């Protein structure tokens, strides 16, 4: 029986690497697109549950910079599913105060998909309940590299002093500058790697890996991950005694 305490250390920010749609489809003797469609249902369930549990930020790795190497038919289908998902979920996002945020370079996406993304961002920009961030054409290394380029441009133009550069000022140039670092990162399907996702931001994130394929990842699985998180001691480089004294 799950023993998640809703008032006890719910992660403020959960990030998820949604993996296993293709394997789910294969296990069910279906095409890969069917797996992605089923995965979209899992997105809906997890988003609802996070909102209910009081999670403030949910970030989903929807499409990486490396996913362009997949067959064009699959990529086109993913983009179509994305637009359909945003269209179908807009009313519920409004009802539950969910704001859409995007990280990654969406300029490579089809204009119709970009238009739908911008429409939903615009219509939800005042929502205060939860921030749903989709990482689209996103890569952690690319994020860090782009931040470094912008810092260099600001230094050369005189807008930023080199001596002011430190880890706190650096984060202001990352795509995630408007949100806290993830408290909990979940990866489904039994893989144990970050796959170029939020490399800077996960320095002190708690990781949770599960064998469950993403289309089968629902409310019970999410609550299990949160329950596991609640049992962990987050030290951030300190000792257990220091943490205990600080909370007393």
CATH number of the domain to which 129 belongs: 3.40.1180.10
Predicted confidence at residue 233, as pLDDT, reads 84
Classify the C-alpha dihedral 74-188-65-115 as positive or negative.
Answer: positive
Predicted confidence at residue 1, as pLDDT, reads 42
Q: Is residue 163 part of a domain?
A: no
* 237-246 pLDDT per residue, tens: 666 665 566 6
What is the dihedral angle through the alpha carbons of 66, 70, 74, 77, rounded to the nearest 10 degrees?
20
Q: Is residue 61 part of a domain?
A: yes
**Residues spanned by the domain of 198:** 13-139+182-233
Predicted confidence at residue 234, as pLDDT, reads 77
Q: Is residue 100 part of a domain?
A: yes
**Which residues are known to be catalytic?**
19, 67
Q: Is residue 126 part of a domain?
A: yes
Q: Is residue 6 part of a domain?
A: no
Predicted confidence at residue 135, as pLDDT, reads 98
Full-model pTM = 0.92
Give the long-range contacts of residues 30-34, CB within 8 A, separation 24 or more: 32/74, 33/74, 33/77
Of 115, 56, 51, 66, give the one whose Cα is nearest residue 86: 115
Domains: count for the chain: 1
Q: Give the burial class of 177: count Cβ atoms within 10 A of its Cβ; 0-12 exposed, 13-18 middle, 19 or more buried.
A: exposed
Which stretches of the chain drop beneath a pLDDT of 70?
A: 1-8, 235-248
């Amino acid at each position: 029986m799950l023993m998640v305490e809703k008032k006890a250390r719910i992660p403020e920010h959960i990030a998820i690497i949604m993996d296993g749609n293709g394997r789910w489809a294969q296990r069910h003797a279906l095409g890969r697109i069917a797996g992605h469609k089923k995965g979209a249902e899992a997105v809906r369930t997890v988003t609802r549950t996070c909102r209910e549990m009081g999670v403030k930020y949910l970030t989903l790795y929807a499409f990486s910079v490396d996913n362009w190497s997949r067959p064009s038919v699959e990529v086109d289908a993913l983009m179509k599913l994305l637009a359909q998902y945003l269209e179908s979920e807009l009313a519920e996002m409004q009802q539950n105060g969910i704001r859409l945020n995007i990280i990654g370079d969406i300029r490579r996406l089809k204009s119709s998909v970009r238009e739908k993304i911008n429409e939903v961002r615009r219509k939800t920009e005042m929502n205060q309940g939860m921030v749903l961030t989709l990482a689209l054409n996103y890569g952690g290394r690319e994020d860090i590299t782009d931040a470094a380029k912008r810092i260099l441009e600001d230094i050369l133009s005189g807008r930023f002093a080199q001596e002011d550069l430190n880890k706190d000022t650096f984060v202001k140039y990352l795509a995630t500058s408007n949100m806290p670092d993830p408290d909990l990162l979940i990866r489904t399907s039994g893989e144990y790697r970050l796959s170029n996702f939020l490399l800077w931001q996960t320095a002190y994130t708690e990781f949770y890996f599960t064998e469950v394929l993403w289309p089968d990842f629902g409310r019970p699985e999410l609550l299990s991950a949160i329950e596991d998180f609640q049992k962990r001691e987050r030290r951030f480089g300190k000792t257990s005694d220091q943490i205990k004294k600080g909370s007393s």
